[in-house]
Structure 1
């Protein structure tokens, strides 16, 4: 059953003219099942069409937004994630800008490493001029994205990455500190093991010009680390990519070194690679407080086949992307509804029991995803670049199978919590049209704890979003309904690590921090991420960016505001 929120989202962004949600699921199922016709007779495709349709209609599995929007349409671009090269010439830079525009127009997001661009102040021999550096060229990408609304339905999104060893790294680290620039970019520093070890030993690292490999300067690693932490504390950017860990897990090392990810960081990709994502709704695999493992296995098998089919039916924005997509056949099956599953099972998010369950779940999903990919390889063939991969001599259909995406919008359609994130707040004030304030109570609190809050309790909760210090609420309810800002940072990181351990690609997760944390706390977060072998990490300190979610607003007339059942994943 689709919620009012889900219906509003579908009407605004997903449904074709005159289309119902049921017809949308049918359109997508039919289009994706056409991939079977390359290998099987029509009745086989019809069988899988029904399976695809059923899991989507039941909100048990949903693919990424471009697939829901574009499958079965003339546009036909179904992938969410792309990484494009940015090489060191004006011609190559603007070729990438053009391709980015084409991708974003179709609803895809793009990631770039700017590490190959010569630094600001370097010589440009052809014109006898001076190079403006990577941050300057990032503005070109940012402005182009500003002019494009993804698929005419959502704003463009980019990931900008720069190596910690680039001479312009300080300028890059601080480029979003004004909280106005690069609004269409998430940015991350590609930090090496060498960098972290030099931070530990208070040593220096070399900053090298990528044009000729010459050392421009040596800097204290600790100074750069401090600057990264200060900027992340202040503005939420940059994040860190643990780039050596990413490449230790690169499934196709002979094809090159990974230098960038998609906009939210859940898929590290080579230049011109793309990835199709989809997520299983974990809230749908709980029966009487127990996980239905057989149902979960079926959903994994259907999800992997669905995403593999997308590769064959997709209409690619460029030939280079099609060659990489069909050469490696990377896909990313993930999850949403983890917090709702924990609530249903009465397990606190910040507990060892939750960490153990996370590992058990993702280990199971990853294992079944791999087994399904092996079966598909026997049925349809391995990915063509397999001899240049870690699977040389084996039969595997997909170079990667699993990834944990943010699921911001599709989790709202599914009516569950986003990705592996905890609840953000039990109640909060949200500004909507014409800056009108509305009080919103988390729907999962209403669903599982009931509409039990008094007006006085609600007024107190609105100060922080938390119920932990509110009198009159039972302790067992407080334990289960713990929010992102209640949870100590290390528990966010441990949870991300639990999922990362059993995920081929990467895990997109935010380490939410309260307003009063220090820069030292941020440093500890980045260190723990390195120690626990994450592939990337992002922090967000409440209040470091302006938003539509607020706590602690004075003089609220609660009784005059709307108690909406909008999903917590709207955050």
Structure 2
């Protein structure tokens, strides 16, 4: 059998020699605070080089599942280590924190969605699941849209329901007590559909500081609501227990309230739920109702996205004729293919805290390859971030990364097979045999961009000088 790396990478991918690791003082402080292994007394026991080596070796071991021998696994590990050590690509925080670390959880993903049905058993199970996920370094998204509204009948007790917002406070309190991997507090996303009867209370639930600390919130916006807004009409609120209309609200009133609170405290965001489902290639698995905590990945219940980000700033070169700084497209192609291989391996290397998650992630094999350093690469190219040319450069970069990402997924499928949920998917309909149901997603990269010493995600640089406090919890 050919070496696995030869199967996955383009012809230019022969340069995986270890580069000297160059880390800024800020990066070293972040690594020491959160990522480097420690002994029982709390003393740091590894260097950044050793961190990248343990992660690379752990994730490369997955190749054995697909027929690789010792030599091929070492070759893959070297390639992964060179990729991270050059800071051209970094995986999400749980992978860096946990992979290969003694006594650490074998949970390497950051983004989860936990379903909630309209009964106390489901709600209690969701709280437990969230605590287990937070303990191992992940964040959770929920949709509370199935819960009956405040004041609705509870037949089993003869009482009345307290509504979604009251249960949010229970989840929030549980999150407050669990530290993620002993390094950071849990993070949550709560989504409520715009036609839920408690939507006005939900929109304003973070208006008072300190009541709900550990949630981002978003309103699931439907196409019907947007049509009512455009035509300045009312729209119906529907009780999810009975599926009956209970009253109507002016769409403009609700929209203005969303805008007011988003301006005052940053929440709620908007999740265009009908658009997300229309674009979903695996619609046969059911309807998507929620996203991860930062909102960049929409997920089915119990699904996960393994995130990793390309440092665009590390993909520049000098034009041999003009001497100008230009994008190194062959190097970027190599990085994309190696990163897709890495992220697909993470799926099999994971051992999530719940059986439902392990089954779903191996069914969809979703990965999220994103970017960081967009603002910095535009600096280097002399292109203003807020210009039409800046948009064109960003579009060209992401089209290239997306196209090469799917090519890499197709190459993986030739060796490893299509993802199990492929049958019945849009990919099957289109005749595209791919390894992963999704390939790209742009995460905020708040901490890993500090390790890479570059700008976060696709965001602009907000200041020439800034401070970040890395908290213990």
Task: Return the TM-score normalized by structure 2.
Answer: 0.90
8 A Cα contact 1:195 1:205, kept in partner: yes
The 5-angstrom pairing of residues 447-462 of structure 1 reads none
Query: Is it true that 1:3 corresponds to 2:24 in the alignment?
Result: yes
- Which residue pairs with 2:400 in the alignment? 364
Q: 1:283 and 1:124 mapped to 2: Cα distance? A: 56
Q: 1:388 and 1:117 mapped to 2: Cα distance? A: 30
Shift of 1:248: 1.1
- Match for 2:462 among 424, 428, 449? 424
Shift of 1:432: 6.6
Q: Classify the secondary structure of the residue corresponding to 2:423.
A: helix
- Match for 2:85 among 36, 54, 57? 57
Query: Is it true that 1:26 corresponds to 2:53 in the alignment?
Result: yes
Q: Classify the secondary structure of the residue corresponding to 2:356.
A: helix
Q: 1:212 and 1:431 mapped to 2: Cα distance? A: 48
- Which residue pairs with 2:173 in the alignment? 143
- Which residue pairs with 1:214 in the alignment? 244
- Which residue pairs with 2:446 in the alignment? 408
Unaligned runs of 5+ in 2: 1-21, 39-44, 319-324
- Match for 1:172 among 202, 211, 233? 202
Q: Classify the secondary structure of the residue corresponding to 1:404.
A: coil
Query: Bigger shift: 38-47 or 143-152?
Result: 38-47
8 A Cα contact 1:189 1:238, kept in partner: yes
Query: Is it true that 1:185 corresponds to 2:215 in the alignment?
Result: yes
Shift of 1:42: 2.1
Q: 1:306 and 1:426 mapped to 2: Cα distance? A: 33
- Match for 1:234 among 253, 264, 271? 264
How many pairs are equivalent?
Answer: 433
Shift of 1:180: 2.0
Q: 1:220 and 1:240 mapped to 2: Cα distance? A: 18
Q: 2:77 and 2:308 mapped to 1: Cα distance? A: 16
8 A Cα contact 1:179 1:235, kept in partner: no
Query: Is it true that 1:43 corresponds to 2:63 in the alignment?
Result: no
- Which residue pairs with 1:248 in the alignment? 278
Q: 2:351 and 2:71 mapped to 1: Cα distance? A: 24
Cα displacement string for residues 431-470 of structure 1 (whole angstroms, at most 9, x for unaligned residues): 979xxxxxxxxxxxxxxxxxxxxxxxxxxxxxxxxxxxxx
Query: Is it true that 1:106 corresponds to 2:136 in the alignment?
Result: yes
Cα displacement string for residues 290-345 of structure 1 (whole angstroms, at most 9, x for unaligned residues): 00000000000000000000001111111111111000000000000111100011
Q: Classify the secondary structure of the residue corresponding to 2:370.
A: strand
The 5-angstrom pairing of residues 279-290 of structure 1 reads 279-288=309-318, 289-290=325-326
- Which residue pairs with 1:439 in the alignment? none
Shift of 1:182: 1.3
Query: Bigger shift: 167-176 or 191-200?
Result: 191-200
Instruction: From the superposition, tell whether residues 347 and 394 of structure 1 become closer, same or farther in structure 2 (CA, over 3 Å).
Output: closer
- Which residue pairs with 1:485 in the alignment? none
- Runs of 4+ in structure 1 off by over 2 angstroms are 430-433
8 A Cα contact 1:258 1:270, kept in partner: yes
Q: 1:111 and 1:44 mapped to 2: Cα distance? A: 38
Q: 2:315 and 2:432 mapped to 1: Cα distance? A: 32
Cα displacement string for residues 393-432 of structure 1 (whole angstroms, at most 9, x for unaligned residues): 531100000000000000000011111111111246x597
Q: Classify the secondary structure of the residue corresponding to 1:287.
A: strand
- Which residue pairs with 2:41 in the alignment? none
Task: Return the TM-score normalized by structure 1.
Answer: 0.75
Query: Is it true that 1:296 corresponds to 2:332 in the alignment?
Result: yes
Q: Classify the secondary structure of the residue corresponding to 1:419.
A: coil
Q: 1:245 and 1:106 mapped to 2: Cα distance? A: 32
- Which residue pairs with 1:398 in the alignment? 436
Q: Classify the secondary structure of the residue corresponding to 1:208.
A: strand
- Which residue pairs with 1:68 in the alignment? 96
Query: Is it true that 1:320 corresponds to 2:347 in the alignment?
Result: no
Q: 1:328 and 1:108 mapped to 2: Cα distance? A: 18
8 A Cα contact 1:115 1:210, kept in partner: yes
Q: 2:163 and 2:96 mapped to 1: Cα distance? A: 38
Q: Classify the secondary structure of the residue corresponding to 1:165.
A: coil
Unaligned runs of 5+ in 1: 434-547, 549-571
**Greater RCO (CA < 8 Å, at least 6 residues apart):** 2
Q: Classify the secondary structure of the residue corresponding to 2:141.
A: strand
- Which residue pairs with 1:541 in the alignment? none
Instruction: From the superposition, tell whether residues 432 and 299 of structure 1 become closer, same or farther in structure 2 (CA, over 3 Å).
Output: closer
- Which residue pairs with 1:120 in the alignment? 150
Shift of 1:97: 0.4
Q: 1:157 and 1:340 mapped to 2: Cα distance? A: 28
Q: 1:354 and 1:181 mapped to 2: Cα distance? A: 40
**Superposition RMSD on alpha carbons, in Å?**
1.3
The 5-angstrom pairing of residues 299-378 of structure 1 reads 299-378=335-414
